[in-house]
Structure 1
Amino acid sequence: MRTSFLFLFFLGKSILGFAQEPTQMHFYKIQDQSFEAVKAIAQKENKMIFMDVYTVWCGPCKLMDKNTFSDPKVAEKFNAEFVAYKVNAEDLAGRALAQEYKVYAYPTYLFFSPEGALINRLEGVFPPKNLMEEADYTKGLLAKSK
């Protein structure tokens, strides 16, 4: 009897957990993909690039991961409309990108066209709603530039 109960409990939990699993924001990471590879993906998918430049010691960066990037609405929007790229500014390749784009504060967010032209930059902590509004604003900037 106890075995049957445990089996049904874990079966139900796994089914419910699978059905209700929250959407996660998908980031390519600089450790796995070069910026050139990310640009190629963005061009192929015709999406803008959202680059999160962070450091491992940065408290506000951790807040963004915990509160904003984990928000299901943010994840849904950014997964559909952007190719997201996470860059550790203390890695060798990350340091080069941070220098190239003059990133001196963390977190910094850079928005690029699918071809890799810088369109907008933001710094600091953004609640989910504000980040989504900034993303829409930036998409508007890109549309005006064409």
Structure 2
Amino acid sequence: MQNNLKIFICFFFLFIFFKGSSQQINWISFNELEKVQKNNPKNVLIDIYTNWCGPCKLMDKNTFGNADIIRIINENYYAVKFNGEGNETVKFMDRIFTNPNYDSSRSQKRNSSHELTRYLGVNAYPSTLFFDSSMNYISPIRGYLNPKQIEIYLTLFKDDTYKTLKTQDDFDNFMKNFQSQVKG
């Protein structure tokens, strides 16, 4: 009996250890973003999702769960996850945004768009938005992105590389020479 208890305790702690050691993206809120951006400016990635969006859930699992993508994002970006139809009050760019038409009875279904979602011009979910370290809007990327697809944008926008691409030929050359480091 005592051996069984020891075995159970060992497995319990192993489970806790391995579960706790899994890597995750360091998601922060918009309110936290304002604080950290003042102290240590970095580029920003914003994942705009909804509760009912199947591709959003797949992107969470497959893309934002990929160890290489997690590493790239955590090293180079502040990452914000935002429900585009939620009821959170958000301060962003010195403005307050709410969702005055939010219906709590529809929290797991389509709801009204958040004011911030409309302000950012988001009309599809998921949408991944990129800002530079001065909070200048770089680009929205609409739709599901697998790890290799998002890696291109993460690489392009993590520094000023995107500013050197002035023409379609420049972008095509970037894509031709891009070598993915992502596994999976």
Q: TM-score, normalised by structure 1?
A: 0.80
2:136 corresponding residue in structure 1: 117
User: Which runs of 4 or more aligned residues in structure 1 lie more than 6 Å from their structure 2 counterparts after TM superposition?
Assistant: none
Q: Structure 1 residues 44, 17: closer, same or farther in 2, change over 3 A?
A: same
Aligned to 1:24: 24
Deviation at 1:121, TM superposition (A): 1.4
The count of aligned residue pairs is 139
Instruction: Name the structure with the higher helix share.
Output: 1
Matched, 1:129 2:128: no
Q: Cα RMSD over matched residues?
A: 2.4
- The answer on 1:68 being equivalent to 2:63 is yes
3-state SS, counterpart of residue 119 of structure 1:
strand
Unaligned stretches of 5+ residues in structure 1 = none
Q: Equivalents in 2 of 1:69, 1:82: separation in Å?
A: 13
Per-residue CA distance 1:46-95 (angstroms, 9 max, x = gap)? 32111011111111111111111111221122112111101111124371
Q: Which has the larger radius of gyration?
A: 2
Structure 2's unaligned 5+ residue stretches are: 88-97, 100-113, 165-184
Q: TM-score, normalised by structure 2?
A: 0.65
Distance 1:82 1:55 in 2: 22
Percent identity over the alignment? 29
By relative contact order (CA 8 Å, sep 6+), the higher-ranking structure is: 1
Match of 2:127 among 100, 108, 111: 108
